[in-house]
Chain A
Amino acid sequence: MPYQTAVTVQAALPPDRVAEVRELLHEAGRKSAAGELFPFAEIPGVHFARVVLVPEGPGGAPADMPPSVVYMSEVDGPVEAHLADLVRTAGDGLDRVFGHCAGYPAAGSPDAARIDWLRAHEVPCAAFYVNTVGRGRQQIEQEALLREVIEEFLDRNGPALAGRSPVEIRTAVQDYVGGREDLAWARTGPAPPPLGGRIRRAAHLVGVPLAAVGLLPLLLSALPAWVVLLRLHERRDVPDHARPSHDRIRELAACEDFVAQNPFTAVGSVKTGPFRRITLTAVLFVVDYGVRHVFDRGNLAGVKTIHFARWLFIDGKRRVIFASNYDGSLESYMDDFIDKVAWGLNAVFSNGRGYPRVRWLVLDGARDEQAFKNYLRCHQVPTQVWYSAYDTSTAHDLDTNARIRAGLFGDLGPAETEAWLALF
């Protein structure tokens, strides 16, 4: 079981190259041309990947918040190995996109030079949500196959099995799967994640609360002042009532709703001043801890349709990128946000300019349905190039498949055996 890594490479784009790169990404993202420039399917361990164009920051000098091109992927294992695979497999695509950026290795340079350049332009995540920590792409593919094999076995033998008890039926399935050499891996559970990673995870799980306890007197003494400042800032906030233009919606809609999942990429400016920057940093620190250790099993505070999500600072913490891969349509995704996790959205995004008015960091905000939807559409950027390794599988599918595998040879009582059969 590998751990999943969020890879982000961002490089500033000279303003006079923006149009050219936009056109290039548009071409690369056309569904008929999918995979020609960026053959992600050939790179092992990639779950999702995208290349997007982030426009320059609003109002500021281009030098402060320049337009940039951003590569993001969710992959199994360490970033070094992925970048090496990426350069080897999609070197041409990288050259054509990042070749417009300052310092990119000239044509004919060795792969190592490209890898070094990409590594130098990596951006760390402030927080990274993984639907199910440790579930690798190979495991996902194997478990989907296992489910299909058993489904077909049940279809073929439906009449013969129908009169038998759940325990007998599961035994028949076990015998069938056990007899297939190509499914030998299914006889045991997935291997545990690498030891080093597990140790780091455990250290983070314990270390952060310990440090927090140490800092508690300091945090508590700062709290009243922070609350007063928060309310002062919130009263002065200016919500942006802009509606997204129809041209903008058209551009975004053209990139959506082709497969079971969709990408979401949005860029927002942090409200000016140190208070919001510090608050957002702290909130994302808490989010990071929460998604690592609390929401690491298929459920992000009530939303179960997100495969991966990341929050990261760019432009010296003046802007934030939020990027996710989710099941279904944007409308249903936004409705989930409003209905299930408005407080969480508010805590992060209310530090962004133009967000609907929030009280006490978590109240109101996203509950203003149309203002919130308009805000998201206004800050979304088209995900022109996007790849999904399992584009007919929802997070619910992956979870069901994993349960099928876990229960196939496990020790189950009669009730659990019935529940296991109900997974099909």
Chain B
Amino acid sequence: MTTPLELDDIQGLVTRGYRTLTSACFLVLATAGPAATARAALGRLAPRVTNGRSDPPDTAVNVALTADGLRRLGLEPPELDGFPYEFVVGMTDPDRSRFLGDVGENAPRHWRWGGPAGPPAHVLVMLYARDGQQLRQLEAETRREVLVPGAFTETARLGTAELTDREPFGFRDGISQPLIEGLPKAALAASAAGDGGTDGEQVVRAGEFVLGYPNEYGLLTDRPLLPTRHDPLGVLPRAPEGGADFGRNGSYLVFRQLRQDVEAFRDYLDAETRRPDGSSDPAAQEALAARMVGRWPGGAPLVRAPEHDDPALATDNGFGYHATDPAGLRCPLGAHIRRANPRDSLDPRPGSADSVAVGRRHRLLRRGRPYGPDGTGDGPDAHGLHFLALNANISRQFEFIQHTWLDNPNFNGLHDGPDPIVAPRQERRTTFTEQGRPFRTRHIGLPQFVTVQGGAYFFLPGLKALHYLCTAVPEGGRQ
């Protein structure tokens, strides 16, 4: 029933997060001349690109392009119209900005890169290595290949911090990931589910993350199909619907540079939890932070460990909310993880398999890396997260989660409570409510802790599509 994944053609970032390659950086490139020169330069890099089968011991390279980048390399309308609207207009289109909450401090005009005021973003090269020295070497080699005159210029270098299991606010991160059906981990979880575990609920159909495979509706997500005459050499696979399948084995990469104001976060927690005598209360600070996140700093979920952190539950992910905590008494309804992945807590019929099934249509593969403090140009002391997420349908997955779950002040019956951690504070008051008995506690007027500093929607092509783009795309997009 499951279509086997073409791992040789899928980029490695889809199948793994390279957690053993703890050094990483992202190069944002802009074309600097004619399409042919840029294509040739990218073509020199293409053989290095890591596929989904290999488990690279030392270094990995992945490549993605914005809609502008595809255009610069010669893919033109109407071919480009086969891509979804959100991708083609890009993350900084004014309607998308309003939708994503990228207004005020978060507005693209303030961004370091990707915004209208900053340098353009056409190609993203993601470099991963086992240590800093290998990364420097990989970076140097990459630059030699692509930064040739008339091909590309580097418009931003986005460095990362050494990968640990903590994000800058001090919480264990990356615990909950959807498992792609067809990969070994998913098979393992599915068999565990047969034994009564709930990990099987994390298994999501491959088509939610990789184009060309059935999604959670059992259907193929729309993808760019080119007229076959544009691919006379047959570089691209042929789609069952007809046409040369430029999208197959590709994915959409959502990249957002999120600055985390660690000091403001700590200050807020301190001010909000002072004892009556005015002294600080570290335990209360940690408890409030945990209730805003939904997990303790060590990772234990509040729904399982409501009173204190529990190392035994550090990576626990096999839980729902409805059976033990429908009203949010353990894990507040507005907590970050309860809205980024509501599991079984929303309609239809919370607690049911249908509720979980609807949730599976709104999942992301997270591939983010924390940064700072280092030379990212984002202030010497800046910390944050390079948020990278993969999905097949930007509108139904990333944008839905951002708008309908995270930023939505009315999420799950709340009234004025957007995500206490990551949501922008707009004109409306931001309240964090801790549900309780006999009645709730409200924290009114939360400051903003996370600010968007850059971002773009990228297409992470399959390797054949990348090869086609570098070598076979007809001059000027047509013949």
Which residues of B lie under 8 Å from residue A400 when comparing CB positions? 413, 415
A287-311, CB under 8 A of B: which get 1 and which 0? 0000000000000001010000000
Q: Is A269 an interface residue (CB 8 A)?
A: no
The verdict on A396 contacting B221 (CB below 8 Å), with A246-B88, A250-B95 known, is: no
- In the bound assembly, the distance between CA atoms of A249 and B441 in angstroms comes to 42
Q: How far is the CA of A39 from the CA of B95 in the complex (A)?
A: 25
Contact assessment for B438 and A162 in the assembled complex, using a CB-CB cutoff below 8 Å: yes
> Does B438 contact A421, Cβ atoms closer than 8 Å?
yes
| Structural contact, B348 and A339, CB atoms closer than 8 A | yes
| Complex CA distance for A158 and B434, rounded to whole angstroms | 13
Asked whether A257 lies within 8 Å of B98 as measured between CB atoms, the reply is yes
Q: Which of B358, B410, B435 contacts A422 (CB 8 A)?
A: B435
Nearest chain A residue, comparing its CB with the CB of B362: A335
Say whether, besides A249-B85, A304-B347, A329-B400, A169 and B408 are in contact (CB < 8 Å). Answer: no
A155 within 8 A of B: yes
* Cα distance A161–B436 in the bound complex, in angstroms: 13
Interface residue? B89 (CB, 8 A) = yes
**Chain A proximity of B423: nearest CB distance (Å):** 15
Provide the residues of chain B in CB contact with A250, threshold 8 Å.
85, 89, 95
Separation of A340 and B444 alpha carbons in the complex (Å): 35
Chain A residues lying within 8 Å of B217, measured Cβ to Cβ, are 338, 367-369
Q: A155-B442, A329-B400, A400-B413 are contacts. A339–B435 as well, Cβ < 8 Å?
A: no
Q: Which residue of B lies closest to A246 (CB)?
A: B85
Q: Does A370 contact B (CB under 8 A)?
A: yes
> Are B347's CB and A161's CB within 8 A?
no
Instruction: Report the minimal beta-carbon distance from A294 to chain B, rounded to whole angstroms.
Output: 18
Residues of B within 8 A of A338 (CB): 217
A240 to chain B, nearest CB (A): 15
Determine if B410 and A327 form an interchain contact, defined as CB atoms under 8 angstroms apart: yes
Q: A158-B441, A397-B415 are in contact. Are A370 and B403 (CB under 8 A)?
A: no
Contact with B along A231-259 (1 / 0, CB 8 A): 00000000000010110011001101110
Q: Does A424 sit within 8 A of B, measured CB to CB? A: yes
Interface residues of A in 374-415 (CB under 8 A from B): 392, 394, 396-397, 400
Say yes or no: A243 contacts B438, CB within 8 Å.
no
* Contact status B439-A422, CB under 8 Å: yes
B219: chain A residues within 8 A (beta carbon):
368-370
Q: Pick the contact of B348: A249, A340, A370 (CB < 8 A).
A: A340
From B98, B399, B435, B440, give the contact of A331 (CB < 8 A): B399
Contact of A243 among B222, B396, B416, B444 (CB under 8 A): B222
Residue A315 at the chain B interface, CB threshold 8 Å = no
Q: Give min CB distance, B468 to chain A, whole Å.
A: 23
CA A327 to CA B221, docked complex, whole Å: 26
User: Is the C-beta of A43 less than 8 angstroms from some C-beta in chain B?
Assistant: no
Q: With a CB–CB cut-off of 8 A, which chain B residues contact A397?
A: 410, 415
How distant is the Cα of A319 from the Cα of B217 in the complex, in angstroms?
Answer: 31
Q: Does B361 contact A (CB under 8 A)?
A: yes
The count of chain B contact residues (Cβ–Cβ below 8 Å) is 38
Chain A residues positioned under 8 Å from B413 (CB to CB): 396, 400
Q: Which residues of B contact A327 (CB under 8 A)?
A: 410
Are B358 and A339 within 8 A (Cβ)? yes
Contact yes or no, B440 A424, CB < 8 A: yes
At the interface, yes or no: A190 with Cβ under 8 Å from chain B?
Answer: no
B400 touching A332 by the CB < 8 A rule? yes
Q: How large is the interface on A (under 10, 10 to 19, 20 to 34, 35 or more residues)?
A: 35 or more
A328 to B399 CA separation, bound complex (whole angstroms): 12
In the bound complex, CA of A59 to CA of B72 (Å): 39
Is there a chain B Cβ closer than 8 Å to A164's Cβ?
yes
Instruction: Indicate the member of A154, A331, A421 with the most B CB atoms within 10 Å.
Output: A331
Residue pair A246, B438 in contact (C-beta under 8 Å)? no
The minimal Cβ–Cβ distance linking B321 to chain A, given in whole angstroms, is 16
Distance from B80 Cβ to chain A, minimum over Cβ atoms (Å): 9
B387 at the interface (CB under 8 A from A): no
Give the shortest distance, in Å, between B70 (CB) and chain A (any CB).
14
- Give the docked Cα–Cα distance between A394 and B417 (Å): 13
**Residues of chain A contacted by B88 (CB below 8 angstroms):** 246
Residues of B within 8 A of A123 (CB): none
CA distance A158 to B396 in the complex (A): 40
B438 touches A166 (CB 8 A): yes
Q: Determine the distance from Cα of A404 to Cα of B460 in the docked complex, in whole angstroms.
A: 50
Question: Which of B327, B347, B416, B438 has the most A CB atoms < 10 Å from its CB?
Answer: B438
Chain B residues positioned under 8 Å from A245 (CB to CB): 81
A418 contacts chain B at the CB level, 8 A cutoff: yes
Instruction: Flag B437-462 by CB within 8 Å of A: 1 or 0 each.
Output: 11111101000000000000000000
CA distance A368 to B435 in the complex (A): 39
A166 to B410, CA, bound (A): 26
Asked if residues A331 and B404 are in contact (CB atoms below 8 Å), the reply is yes
Within 8 A of B (CB), among A165-215: 165-166, 169
Residues A302 and B400 in contact in the complex (CB < 8 Å), given A164-B438, A246-B81, A250-B89: no
Which residues of B lie under 8 Å from residue A304 when comparing CB positions? 347
Interface centre among A154, A338, A340, A422 (most CB of B within 10 A): A422
In the docked arrangement, what's the CA distance between A162 and B434, Å?
Answer: 14
B394 CB to closest chain A CB (Å) equals: 10
B348 touches A151 (CB 8 A): no
**Is B268 interfacial (CB 8 A cutoff)?**
no
**What residues of A have a CB within 8 angstroms of the CB of B408 in the complex?**
328
- Chain B nearest CB, measured from A71 CB (Å): 26
Interface centre among B81, B348, B399, B410 (most CB of A within 10 A): B410
Chain A hits for B415, CB < 8 A? 397, 400
Instruction: State whether B437 touches A331 (Cβ < 8 A).
Output: no
A253 — which chain B residues lie within 8 A by C-beta? 95, 99
**Interchain CB contact (< 8 A) of A329 among B81, B89, B403:** B403
CA distance A396 to B413 in the complex (A): 6
A397 to B415, CA, bound (A): 7
* Nearest chain B CB to A241 CB, angstrom units: 10
B309 nearest CB across to chain A (Å): 25
Q: Within 8 Å of chain B (Cβ to Cβ): is A283? A: no
Please list 19 pairs of residues, one from A and one from B, whose beta carbons are closer than 8 Å in the complex, sorted by A's number.
A154-B439, A158-B441, A164-B438, A250-B85, A302-B347, A329-B99, A329-B400, A331-B396, A331-B400, A331-B403, A335-B361, A339-B348, A368-B217, A369-B217, A369-B219, A370-B221, A396-B410, A400-B415, A422-B435
Closest 6 pairs between A and B when the two form their complex, measured CB to CB: A253-B95, A394-B410, A421-B439, A249-B85, A332-B404, A369-B217
Which residues in B have some Cβ–Cβ distance to A below 8 Å? 81, 85, 88-89, 95, 98-99, 217, 219, 221-222, 327, 347-348, 354, 358, 361, 395-396, 399-400, 403-404, 408-410, 413, 415-416, 428, 435, 437-442, 444
Q: Give 18 new A-B contacts, CB below 8 A, not counting A151-B442, A256-B95, A424-B439.
A: A158-B441, A162-B438, A166-B438, A169-B438, A169-B439, A246-B88, A249-B85, A250-B89, A257-B403, A302-B347, A328-B408, A331-B403, A335-B400, A340-B348, A369-B219, A370-B221, A421-B439, A422-B439
